[in-house]
Amino acid sequence: MHQTDIELLRAEIAAAAARMIAEDGADYASAKRKAARQILGDAKTRGEILPDNTQIEDEVRAYNELFFGDTQPARLLHLRQLAVQVMEELARFNPYLTGAVLNGTAGEHSDIHLQLFTSSAKDVEIFLLNKNVNFEVSESNHFKGGQAMVETLSFLLPQKGRAPEGVHLAVYDVDDLRGGVRTASGKRTARTERADIDAVRRLIVEEDS
């Protein structure tokens, strides 16, 4: 297969995956697999044909602008404002925003994803219990890859006059904060993987200006 053909297939898969993410709230991994199967059928998929998450993210952003340009910006702003509120409550656990609410692709089905950095995951559980938060415990992949899973606490955040919003807290050891993941600089063009509360506030100010 020629390189041009590979690039075209990769772009087609990325566009199909982006549609599933924007319309149905599918996660990137499952959307990528479903899109590849939809386009290639049962043929064995070579790794070089699959788009990376950055390419899919670009397609999601483009899809949102094309089909949800009148509603998505307000939805994104609302979720970022909610994220700041939750981060203020969880300030003692060094909260960082990540995922679609940070990178700007959040849509109707998107939840708020936070990373917490603390010496004890049990302290986070106790904090939520004391706030009468009904949460579920699961596990998520470590952001560094190839490492043990991390505990994730998920709950619905009540909204006055609105449907509740999903919040997911991935709880890391405080030493993980020294990892090589970049934090947000506040620049809209910067690709970042997590942002502290001050960086999220700057993003909100940028959206309002």
Contacts of 202 (CB under 8 A, 6+ apart): 184, 186
Q: How confident is the model at residue 143 (pLDDT cuts 50, 70, 90)?
A: confident
Q: How confident is the model at residue 19 (pLDDT cuts 50, 70, 90)?
A: very high
- 148 or 204, greater pLDDT: 204
pLDDT of residue 177: 86
Q: How confident is the model at residue 108 (pLDDT cuts 50, 70, 90)?
A: very high
d(CA 41, CA 27) in angstroms, rounded, equals 20
Average pLDDT over the chain reads 89
- 47 or 33, greater pLDDT: 33
pTM value is: 0.86
- CB 93: neighbour CB atoms within 10 A? 23
